[in-house]
Structure 1
Amino acid sequence: MKLSEIKAILPTLDNVEFQLENGAFVPEHFHVTEVGIITKNFIDCGGTIRSESVVNFQLWNADDYEHRLKPNKLLNIIKLSEEQLGIADAEIEVEYQTETIGKYDLAFSGKHFVLKNKQTACLAMDACGLPSDKTKIELSQLQNSCCSPNSGCC
């Protein structure tokens, strides 16, 4: 989800709710402690120099159980970060701590925001030496086999 998308959704909501893909909800007394831009400059395993930028939201649970972040308040935090940090419309990555700090993509279910699990991936598959995926076919699909059962070739 891009920043422009969350800005369009927030005014339509009564409450801001985040849910993990496993169905668990982020406690409703969470805080958004950071909104910023994170730029990652790196070299992949194939030697290609890359750069990625995401808008970062950090969610944090405190012991103030009466705290509730309203959509308009989050919208104001986003607008302030855009003005002060020059944040452009980019994909959002959410940091949220469970057992450790996790990084999640963001989606919207129509009712609440969903923290989507991220996966690592090789960006230079051709340089890793991994075999490419082979097409799987059923043995019954093979036609005109060069060997007959009694030919001795197999």
Structure 2
Amino acid sequence: MLLSELKKNASKALKIGFELPNGKLVPSHFHVTEVGLSTKRFIDCGGQKRIKETIVLQLWSANDYNHRLHPEKLVEILTLSERELQLPDLEVEVEYQGETINIYNLGHNGKYFTLTAQLTDCLAKDACGIDERQTTPLIKAASDPCIPGNGCC
């Protein structure tokens, strides 16, 4: 979801909710603790230099259970960040505390903002000699790395 889409969806909302990949909601007393521009400069396994830029929205929950971030306040935070940091209209990623800091893609299902898992991928499959037809997502590897056919054994 682009920053402009986040602002548009938030401005139409009656209340703000973020749904985790497991279907549970981020506690309603969350705070937005950071909005920023993240720039990642790297070289892929094929030797190509790359740059990836995203807007990062960090959510945090404390023990102030009566706190609620209203939609107009979220839009205000995003507009201020956009102006002061001169943020371009890029994809938004969300950081939220799990066992470690988890980074999610952001979507919207008509009711809540949805946090979806990010996956790794090889950006230079042709340089690695990997046949696209033989690749299998490694989603299963998180629970059991030795499941036949998951491509990691």
Q: Same fold (TM over 0.5)?
A: yes
Deviation at 1:10, TM superposition (A): 1.2
Which contiguous aligned blocks of 4+ residues in structure 1 show a shift greater than 3 angstroms?
A: none
Match in the other structure for 1:60: 60
Deviation at 1:21, TM superposition (A): 1.7
Q: Name the SS for the 1:8 alignment partner.
A: helix
Identity %: 51
- Counterpart of 1:112 in structure 2: which amino acid? Y
* Structure 1: 5+ residue stretches without partners: 135-154
In structure 2, C-alpha distance between the alignment counterparts of 1:75 and 1:56, rounded to whole Å: 15
Q: How does 1:78-97 map to 2 (within 5 A)?
A: 78-97=78-97
Q: Name the SS for the 1:73 alignment partner.
A: helix
Q: State the superposition RMSD in angstroms.
A: 1.0
In structure 2, C-alpha distance between the alignment counterparts of 1:53 and 1:3, rounded to whole Å: 12
Instruction: Please identify the structure whose Cα radius of gyration is greater.
Output: 1
In structure 2, C-alpha distance between the alignment counterparts of 1:92 and 1:36, rounded to whole Å: 10
Q: How does 1:13-52 map to 2 (within 5 A)?
A: 13-52=13-52
In structure 1, C-alpha distance between the alignment counterparts of 2:79 and 2:108, rounded to whole Å: 20
Count of matched residue positions in the alignment of Structure 1 and Structure 2:
134
In structure 2, C-alpha distance between the alignment counterparts of 1:108 and 1:81, rounded to whole Å: 21
Deviation at 1:100, TM superposition (A): 0.9
- Counterpart of 2:30 in structure 1: which amino acid? F
In structure 2, C-alpha distance between the alignment counterparts of 1:131 and 1:81, rounded to whole Å: 43
Match in the other structure for 2:144: none
> TM-score w.r.t. structure 1 length?
0.84
* Structure 2: 5+ residue stretches without partners: 135-153
Is 1:109 matched up with 2:109?
yes
Deviation digits for residues 80-109 of structure 1, max 9, x if unmatched? Answer: 111110001000000011111111000000
In structure 2, C-alpha distance between the alignment counterparts of 1:108 and 1:116, rounded to whole Å: 10
Q: Name the SS for the 1:133 alignment partner.
A: helix
Deviation at 1:129, TM superposition (A): 3.2
> TM-score w.r.t. structure 2 length?
0.85
In structure 2, C-alpha distance between the alignment counterparts of 1:96 and 1:132, rounded to whole Å: 32
